[in-house]
Copies of this chain bind each other. A is one copy, B any other.
Amino acid sequence: MNLLEEIRKIIYIKDEMLINRLFDEYHPVDIALEADELEDDELETFAHLINHENMAHLLEASEEDFSARIMAFFTDDELIDIFTHMETSIVADLLGVLSTVRRKAIFSSIKSADKVTLKMILSFDEESAGGIMTTNFIALRENLTAVEAVKKIISISPKTEIIDKIFVTDNYHRLKGIVTMRDLLVSHSDTLLSDLLEEVDFYVYGTDDQEVAANLFSKYELDILPVVNSNMAILGVITSEDIIAIIDQEHNEDMLQMHGVNADEEYDSTLFESFKSRIPWLIVNLVTAFLASSVVKGFESTISQVVVLSAAMPIVTGMGGNAGSQTLSIIITSLARGELSLKEDYKLIFKEIFLGLFEGAIIGILAAAVFVFWHHNIYLGFILFFAMILNMIIACSMGFLIPLILDKIKIDPAIASSIFLTTFTDTCGFFIFLGLATIFLPFLI
């Protein structure tokens, strides 16, 4: 029996004990994934059978859509009780899923100790460092001794996940450094934290984009990153296990957006969701396609005299598109890693121009050879060869420039680059090839 069947059976017999025992046997992530398949009435029964502590685990492990479905079955008071079993940063995420009215009602009933932290987290954008940090960390004053620190940590530790890195602050909550549990345990008991601490190499501001944090983790293989405010007071921390979800999300967004798909579409989205996610980009593409098509229409009289041009022209545009998207994928990947900027790396355009030249020469010669062999017309070969070179130079340099310029003017290059690129490679490709053919028409007939 698989997990979903097991859940359904327990719902049918309404057995509270059995359903809560599931949480000993399965990971909440798996329970959430399966329970998302339940019908609304089944899910309601399911939700009310689970005790609040397990419900907290389930909500922590749920995707946004599923947690919205679940939370709808609870009263405000029930939710507040469930929230007491959770970390404040996750409560903040869940509040973000609720309607404004419910959010305000629940917020006003939350006990005031958590309210301050909650308010602080909610003041940050969801995709900022402050929005993804956890506030469950240990910060101690620098004038404590090692033995005092260990005592404090032991008393605090049941409430926090991270106990091996302790942040050390001055009397004004300003971050001075980090002490590891290891250093505390091996040091003399009366050593002051200020003598044990190591300076923090990296930190982010609460308002920084989550991508800034993600790139620091990737580049320097960090395990933890403190989040501070403009006075260097520590607000929270981001851990490497938290950032993995963010990195995954950013990567997948780039991958999907580059192909004109909404970042939140999943393979199992409904037909209607997928349709909504994809049709806008297809329509934008259609406009581009018509632009290219109208170039072809402009050369109808040339094509009518040398029909073989119609078989050769998609090769020029298609290969240009391929060469350009090779450059595009490199540039977008590097931009996402924060390695590249227009200002510092504009000179690399020369590399792309030469790359287009050489690629165009090789591909152009091969394509020309086939057409000369097919058509016994050497002039057609020459035209194909030169058109290929020119279009590939355009393709490679545009594949380089477009994402960098979009990035510069703060448009996500992953979303918009490929549409601009195709516009260039298609319209230029048709125009160059058919233009050359028109000029040398007497030799082709």
A residues whose Cβ falls under 8 Å from a Cβ of B: 27, 29, 150, 153-154, 157-158, 163-164, 180-182, 185-186, 201, 217-223, 239-245, 247-248, 251-252, 254-256, 258-261, 265-268, 271, 274-275, 278-279, 281-283, 285-286, 289-290, 292-294, 296-297, 300, 303-304, 307-315, 317-319, 322-323, 325-326, 328-334, 337, 339-340, 345, 348, 351, 354-355, 358-359, 362-363, 366-367, 370, 374, 422, 426, 430
User: Are A186 and B265 in contact (CB-based, < 8 A)?
Assistant: no
Contacts A267-B330, A325-B259, A359-B282 given; indicate if A300 touches B290 (C-beta within 8 A).
no
A-B contact pairs, 16 of them (CB 8 A): A27-B201, A29-B219, A157-B186, A158-B186, A221-B241, A240-B240, A244-B247, A247-B248, A255-B329, A259-B328, A265-B330, A267-B333, A275-B358, A279-B359, A286-B315, A290-B370
Residues of B within 8 Å of A422, CB to CB, are 318
**What CA separation (Å) do A286 and B363 show in the bound complex?**
7
Residues of B within 8 Å of A275, CB to CB, are 355, 358-359
Contacts A240-B240, A274-B355 given; indicate if A282 touches B331 (C-beta within 8 A).
no
Checking B281, B289, B303, B331 against A326 with a beta-carbon cut-off of 8 angstroms, the contacting residue is: B281
Q: Which of A293, A303, A308, A334 has the most CB of B within 10 A?
A: A293
User: Are A289 and B355 in contact (CB-based, < 8 A)?
Assistant: no
User: Are B221 and A242 in contact (CB-based, < 8 A)?
Assistant: yes
Residues of B within 8 Å of A164, CB to CB, are 163-164, 181
Checking B278, B300, B359, B366 against A307 with a beta-carbon cut-off of 8 angstroms, the contacting residue is: B300
Checking B150, B201, B289 against A319 with a beta-carbon cut-off of 8 angstroms, the contacting residue is: B289
User: Are B244 and A218 in contact (CB-based, < 8 A)?
Assistant: yes
User: Are A314 and B292 in contact (CB-based, < 8 A)?
Assistant: yes
User: Are B240 and A221 in contact (CB-based, < 8 A)?
Assistant: no
Closest to A24 in B: B199
User: Are A258 and B329 in contact (CB-based, < 8 A)?
Assistant: yes
**What CA separation (Å) do A313 and B310 show in the bound complex?**
10
Distance in angstroms from A429 CB to nearest chain B CB is 10
User: Are B285 and A322 in contact (CB-based, < 8 A)?
Assistant: yes
Distance in angstroms from A16 CB to nearest chain B CB is 24
**What CA separation (Å) do A332 and B186 show in the bound complex?**
49
Residues of B within 8 Å of A268, CB to CB, are 345, 348
**What CA separation (Å) do A241 and B164 show in the bound complex?**
15
User: Are B366 and A283 in contact (CB-based, < 8 A)?
Assistant: yes
Checking B256, B267, B340 against A348 with a beta-carbon cut-off of 8 angstroms, the contacting residue is: B267
Residues of B within 8 Å of A261, CB to CB, are 326, 329-330
* Given A150-B185, A218-B244, A314-B314, 16 other A-B residues pairs in contact with their CB atoms under 8 A: A154-B186, A163-B182, A218-B245, A221-B241, A223-B241, A240-B240, A247-B247, A247-B248, A247-B251, A252-B337, A267-B330, A274-B355, A275-B358, A278-B359, A293-B311, A296-B311
User: Are A322 and B282 in contact (CB-based, < 8 A)?
Assistant: yes
Residues of B within 8 Å of A271, CB to CB, are 351, 354-355, 358
**What CA separation (Å) do A279 and B274 show in the bound complex?**
34
**What CA separation (Å) do A261 and B329 show in the bound complex?**
8
Residues of B within 8 Å of A303, CB to CB, are 303, 307, 310
Closest to A252 in B: B333
**What CA separation (Å) do A150 and B354 show in the bound complex?**
63
User: Are A241 and B267 in contact (CB-based, < 8 A)?
Assistant: no
Residues of B within 8 Å of A304, CB to CB, are 304, 307
User: Are B293 and A314 in contact (CB-based, < 8 A)?
Assistant: yes
**What CA separation (Å) do A27 and B199 show in the bound complex?**
12
Distance in angstroms from A357 CB to nearest chain B CB is 10
Residues of B within 8 Å of A363, CB to CB, are 282-283, 286
Checking B278, B323, B367 against A355 with a beta-carbon cut-off of 8 angstroms, the contacting residue is: B278
Residues of B within 8 Å of A359, CB to CB, are 275, 278-279, 282
